[in-house]
């Protein structure tokens, strides 16, 4: 009986210790926004090399991204937008010059949608009128200029809304930044390496 208890104790303490080590590790990773065990694709920030951008909303931000895995980069109208990942252009719109926060503005946004080799699709939103320089079926390489940012559609200020959708769900993506590979966080500036 005593022996059995000792074994049981040993097993319990072993699993607690293991759990603690694992959670400490992921908390540390979460804090600095990097996951060493991550095997997911590393996206490029969708701007030109050397550009510094401010991220207003990130994953699950309170203003309009509650429950969403999408990013809002605050950039001046006309900022050059580059492909964050190579793929094929599957949809574009660039004829709108309307934007704002009224419900009707939801259908006024210019955008580019690019499909990647794993089936996921990146959406680049709120582009300026005539601010799309690619067309459907074009193959684009990572970093290629694809358009210019704006303030069209459901938008309170000039910005680029970026999201990646896989199997109908928005998924968080990690990026290469000047300070390393990170999941971006709101209210922070990031420099394109
Ligand atoms: Zn957004």
User: Minimal CA–CA distance to 162: which of 81, 49, 79?
Assistant: 81
Ligand 1 centroid to residue 67 C-alpha, Å = 12
Residue 8's pLDDT is what? 47
User: Would the pLDDT of 28 be above 70?
Assistant: no
Ligand 1 centroid to residue 24 C-alpha, Å = 32
Range 45-62 average pLDDT: 93
pLDDT in tens, 133-158: 999 999 999 999 999 999 999 999 99
- Which CATH class name applies to 42-191? mainly beta
d(CA 15, CA 39): 26
d(CA 128, CA 155): 12
Give ion ligand 1 contacts, CB < 5 A.
Answer: 72, 161
Q: What is the 3-state secondary structure (H, E, C) of 87-144?
A: EEEEEEECCCCCEECCHHHHHCCEEEEEECCCCCEEEEEEECCCCECCCCCCEECCCC
Q: Where do the domains of the chain lie?
A: 1-32, 42-191
């Amino acid at each position: 009986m005593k022996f059995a208890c000792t074994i049981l104790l040993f097993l319990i303490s072993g699993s607690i210790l293991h759990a603690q080590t694992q959670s400490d590790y992921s908390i540390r990773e979460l804090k600095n926004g990097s996951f060493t065990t991550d095997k997911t694709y590393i996206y490029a920030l969708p701007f030109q090399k050397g550009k510094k951008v401010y991220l207003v909303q990130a994953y699950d931000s309170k203003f309009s991204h509650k429950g969403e895995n999408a990013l809002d980069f605050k950039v001046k109208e006309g900022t050059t937008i580059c492909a964050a990942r190579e793929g094929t252009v599957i949809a574009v719109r660039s004829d709108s010059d309307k934007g704002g926060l009224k419900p009707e503005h939801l259908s006024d946004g210019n955008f580019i949608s690019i499909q990647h080799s794993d089936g996921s699709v990146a959406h680049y939103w709120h582009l300026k009128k005539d601010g799309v320089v690619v067309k459907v079926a074009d193959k684009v390489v990572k970093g290629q200029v694809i358009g210019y940012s704006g303030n069209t559609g459901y938008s309170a200020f000039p910005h680029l809304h970026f999201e990646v959708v896989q199997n109908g769900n928005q998924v968080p993506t990690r990026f290469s930044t000047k300070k390393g590979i990170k999941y971006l966080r709101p209210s922070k500036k990031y420099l394109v390496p």
